[in-house]
Amino acid sequence: MSPTTPLPQRAAPSGRRELPEAPFLAAARGERPARTPVWFMRQAGRSLPEYRALREGVPMLDACFDPEMLAEITLQPVRRHAVDAAILFSDIVVPLKAAGVDIDIVPGTGPVVAAPVRDLAAVKALPELAPDQVAKVADGVRLLVERLGGTPLIGFAGAPFTLASYLIEGGPSRNHEHTKALMHSSPEVWHELAGRLADIALTFLRAQLDAGVDAIQLFDSWAGALSERDYREFVLPHSAKVLDGVAAYGVPRIHFGVGTGELLVAMREAGADVVGVDWRIPLDEAVRRLGGSAVVQGNLDPALLHASWPVLEAEVRRIVEEGRAADGHIFNLGHGVLPGVDPDVLTRVVGLVHEL
């Protein structure tokens, strides 16, 4: 499918759960729920001993395609921490793997691609994603919808730029040198690649939405490596294709990246209802940059979960107070939970946020 050809719009399924009392969904709509909702990126995973026990001997991507396992892992932090939303246990490379791309998650490294994609022939050779290739993920979503009660479920996908950066670099990169070089030296190749990845992300999100997720988050984790000019030229149209493509479902759309303080306005223009903010700028400043009216998510520095409780408590209180400048605020970290965090600290943070 051409990168400029929109995928057909799809109506929201009529059987979606009604969760009028969920603080997370109320805040995402720009309302003021009785308490500030809180969830954590990477809340399901390495910080939990029950997760490590369940995953022992099971490769990461195998777990992502096992409906019962991914459902149980997703539920673990909801039970332990009483967070206001669950996020589907998955990975941004799951749809690439499902489509047939030779990619794996290497412990201690991250996603690694067997053959980097750096020319038009390699782009043209990329497979498309069919919904039935992620049917097991959708099955896991359906299990979660049955088991979560009144807790909303967030589905997610990786944004085209971040997915492309892994494919082009061959794995994680500090400088994204091959990605930026391709963007500028072969823009036609870049847009072909980003367009194909937008289609893959959109197919993946629609599969989750059709199965019943209550919100979605588009992770453009490494977009902060770009200038605003480059973001608007090379990235925004493709992220907009993804976010616009799920608009008909009527669920909150969260857009998040790391180091994106200079890109917040452009990222909202891509179609975000909720703008994720990392820890580098205060939430009230983020709202100011967004024109004084915005729904934001964030933004405790994950490293401070290792600090003493008085230090951490002061930071949580500051962030909740700064979040009051927004039309709606969802408390979260400025990135994901680090693997060595004491889970009892996360539980304590949830309790504090709910009290404030």
pLDDT for the residue 224:
95
Q: Lowest-confidence range among 2-6, 222-226, 328-332? A: 2-6
Number of domains making up the chain: 1
For residue 303, being part of any structural domain is answered with yes
Q: pLDDT tens digits for 111-158?
A: 888 899 999 999 999 999 999 999 999 999 999 999 999 999 999 999
Mean local confidence (pLDDT), 292-300: 96
Query: What whole-number distance in Å separates Cα of residue 307 and Cα of residue 323?
Result: 22
Which CATH number is 48's domain given?
Answer: 3.20.20.210
- Band (pLDDT 50/70/90 cuts) for residue 4 is very low
For residue 1, being part of any structural domain is answered with no
Residue 84 DSSP symbol: S
For residue 15, being part of any structural domain is answered with no
For residue 89, being part of any structural domain is answered with yes
Query: What whole-number distance in Å separates Cα of residue 313 and Cα of residue 353?
Result: 9
Phi (first) and psi of residue 161, to 5 degrees: -65, -50
Q: pLDDT tens digits for 253-280?
A: 999 999 999 999 999 999 999 999 999 9
Q: pLDDT tens digits for 54-89?
A: 999 999 999 999 999 999 999 999 999 999 999 999
| Angle formed by the axes of helices 187-211 and 177-185, nearest 10° | 110
Say what percent of the chain tops pLDDT 70: 96
Q: Which domain holds residue 258?
A: 23-355
Total Cβ atoms within 10 A of residue 87: 23
| Burial status of residue 96 (CB atoms within 10 A of its CB: 0-12, 13-18, 19 or more) | buried
| Contact predicate 210/240, CB 8 Å | no
Model pTM? Answer: 0.94
| Contact predicate 39/330, CB 8 Å | yes
Mean pLDDT score across all residues of the chain: 94
Q: pLDDT tens digits for 7-25?
A: 444 444 446 788 988 999 9
Count CA within 13 A, CB hemisphere, residue 311.
8
For residue 74, being part of any structural domain is answered with yes
For residue 5, being part of any structural domain is answered with no
Catalytic residues: 42, 46, 55, 91, 166
| Contact predicate 156/134, CB 8 Å | no
For residue 279, being part of any structural domain is answered with yes
For residue 182, being part of any structural domain is answered with yes
Asked whether residue 177 carries a pLDDT value surpassing 50, the answer given is: yes
Q: pLDDT tens digits for 209-221?
A: 999 999 999 999 9
